[in-house]
Amino acid sequence: MRALTDSEIAKELAAVPAWHLHGKEIVREWTLPRFLDAIAFVSKVAVLAEKEDHHPDILIRYNKVQLRLSTHDADGLSERDFRFAKLSDSL
């Protein structure tokens, strides 16, 4: 898997405006109404991650869920990260 160039990353980020670049990762945080809603959302992310065979880092803080995406095999960001970002945005 090839890491994207800086210009490719900028173009891909424009298509997922809720995400931001943090080092070699893209990050997004959701705020859900309650803790159980956050857990239900994470369950949907987990199903998606298994289907895509691409697993984000997940942080849960009460009703907030943060996803961090990078492609370890590429030592950076790849097309897979942005595809997963778009899919998770639709959950």
pLDDT in tens, 63-89: 999 999 999 888 999 999 999 999 999
Whole-angstrom Cα Rg for the chain? 13
User: What's the total number of domains in the chain?
Assistant: 1
> Domain for residue 53, yes or no?
yes
Residue 10 neighbours by CB distance under 10 Å: 11
- Residue 1's pLDDT is 80
In a domain, 15, yes or no: yes
Gap between the Cα atoms of 13 and 5, Å rounded: 12
pLDDT digits (tens, 9 = 90+) for 9-61: 999 999 999 999 999 999 999 999 999 999 999 999 999 999 999 999 999 99
Q: Is residue 14 part of a domain?
A: yes
Q: Flag whether 37 is in a domain.
A: yes
Question: Rounded to whole angstroms, how far apart are CA atoms 35 and 53?
Answer: 26
Residue 1 covered by a domain: no
* 48 in any annotated domain: yes
What CATH number does the domain containing 50 carry?
3.30.1360.20
Amino acid occupying residue 23 = G
Residue 38: inside a domain: yes
pTM for the structure as a whole: 0.93
Confidence of residue 7 (pLDDT cuts 50, 70, 90): very high
Distance between CA atoms of residues 32 and 15, nearest Å: 23
Amino acid identity for residue 90 in this structure: S
Tokens 């949907």 correspond to 44
What's the domain range around 77?
6-89
